[in-house]
Copies of this chain bind each other. A is one copy, B any other.
Amino acid sequence: MYTSAYPIVSVTVDTVALTIRDDRLCVLLIRRGSEPYAGSWALPGGYVEPDETLARAAARELEEETGIRVETLEQLATYGDPGRDPRGHTVSVAHLAVLPDAQEPTGGDDASEAAWRPLDELEPDELAFDHDKVLADGVERARAKLEYTNLATSFVPEEFTVSELREVYDVIWGARLDPGNFHRKVAGSTGFVEPTGRYRKGGSGRPARTFRAGPAVALNPPLTRRSVS
């Protein structure tokens, strides 16, 4: 089938897309329409096409299979154990995407179905290939990046309150951060958030100032989760 000495290894991309819905961390999964693992849930992904960037391929596959378009995609890690794909030696470059809870996925292409699935209702080993491991690595990356980057702002809408931002930390770290201290930390880290000047009245209690993400990507000093976990 192949005449050259080398390309016996195929290259795919997969994406761990995360969001928060109803205070639960959710991942975007598709139900596979074809073998192998037909009918199983899996991360959206597929083969890299010629002359295509890895990130570009991941974004394309994501949109083809779930209808969700994403702007920022961070490379996570590459999984290349022989035997991870029964079709033959396949190397997968995994990516991480973080979105506010907004877009609803729609199946398509190789995916008979696509959905945001809460992490806590996934069975161990439920996913196709080694996607359980990939997902776990993606979540751990997100957990870690909450500490020293403004990643949390990617989980919330463009305009948000400090409480909404704190909810991100609470959900992903499984912690209850002190509202007062969190507020001070966030407001005091230059460039983390910027006040919009507006207020949100919604629920009970004093109305909250709203903010948008600031220009700083790195938090210094970080927001530690030492006491957490």
Contacts and interface: CB of A to CB of B under 8 A. Distances in A.
A140 to B, nearest CB: 13
A115 interface: no
Contacts of A93: 78, 80, 91
A68 interface: no
A207 interface: no
Contacts of A91: 11, 48, 54, 91, 93
Contacts of A2: 2-4, 7
A51 B82 contact: yes
When all copies of this chain in the complex are counted, the total is 2
Interface in A1-46: 1-4, 6-11
Interface in A72-95: 75, 77-78, 80-83, 89, 91, 93
A123 to B, nearest CB: 27
A53 interface: yes
Nearest to A46: B6
A226 B219 CA distance: 11
**Interface size class of chain A, counting residues whose CB lies under 8 Å from the partner chain:** 20 to 34
Nearest to A13: B80
A78 B48 CA distance: 13
A71 interface: no
Contact of A89 (B51, B75, B221, B224): B51
Contacts of A89: 48, 50-51
Nearest to A51: B82
Given A7-B8, A11-B9, A77 B75 contact: yes
Contact of A47 (B6, B82, B221): B6
A52 interface: yes
Contacts of A8: 7, 50
Interface of A: 1-4, 6-11, 47-48, 50-54, 75, 77-78, 80-83, 89, 91, 93, 220-221, 224, 226
5 contacts: A11-B91, A50-B89, A52-B82, A80-B93, A91-B93
